[in-house]
């Protein structure tokens, strides 16, 4: 079965600074990868997804992620964060065949400091 590890549970960063949220996965077969964002008292919203093709994926709100097959990673980046980016971010993986469901990481809480 696949699994996801988000390496940082909390990431504080100053406003307008760059940020990287790290995600590693394990799977014996090819996978699809997703990043979701959760604002306080809301459900999760899709930020971006990697299905195939270009390893650099651009999402909403200026976020992007890079798929690295050799390192089994899918790190999320933003060059300049805003206060409004304060939220919890979840990486998720699903095998591209079979019937195993989507698996989420434990989340990274991003706190942007003014």
Partner 1 sequence: NAGVTQTPKFQVLKTGQSMTLQCAQDMNHNSMYWYRQDPGMGLRLIYYSASEGTTDKGEVPNGYNVSRLNKREFSLRLESAAPSQTSVYFCASSESRGRNQPQHFGDGTRLSIL
Region of 54-62, 63-71, 76-84, 91-99 interacting with partner 1 (CB under 8 A): 91-99
Whether the Cβ atoms of residue 3 and residue 25 lie closer than 8 Å to each other: yes
107 contacts partner 1 (rule: CB under 8 A): yes
Q: What are phi and psi of 62, to 5 degrees?
A: 80, 5
Whether the Cβ atoms of residue 42 and residue 110 lie closer than 8 Å to each other: no
7 contacts partner 1 (rule: CB under 8 A): no
CA 49 to chain CA centroid, nearest Å: 9
CB-wise, 45 or 84, nearer to partner 1?
Answer: 45
**Minimum CB separation from partner 1 for residue 73, in Å?**
18
28, 54, 97, 114: residue in contact with partner 1 (rule CB under 8 A):
97
CA 104 to chain CA centroid, nearest Å: 10
């Amino acid at each position: 079965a696949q699994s996801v590890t988000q390496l940082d549970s909390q990431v504080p960063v100053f406003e307008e600074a760059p940020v990287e949220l790290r995600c590693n996965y394990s799977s014996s077969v090819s996978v699809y990868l997703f990043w979701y964002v959760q604002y306080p008292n809301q459900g999760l919203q899709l930020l971006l997804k990697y299905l195939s093709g270009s390893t650099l994926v651009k999402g909403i709100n200026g976020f992007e992620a890079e798929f690295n097959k050799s390192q089994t990673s899918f790190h999320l980046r933003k060059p300049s964060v805003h206060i409004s980016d304060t939220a919890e971010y979840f990486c998720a993986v699903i095998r591209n065949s079979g019937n195993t469901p989507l698996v989420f990481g434990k989340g990274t809480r991003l706190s942007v400091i003014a």
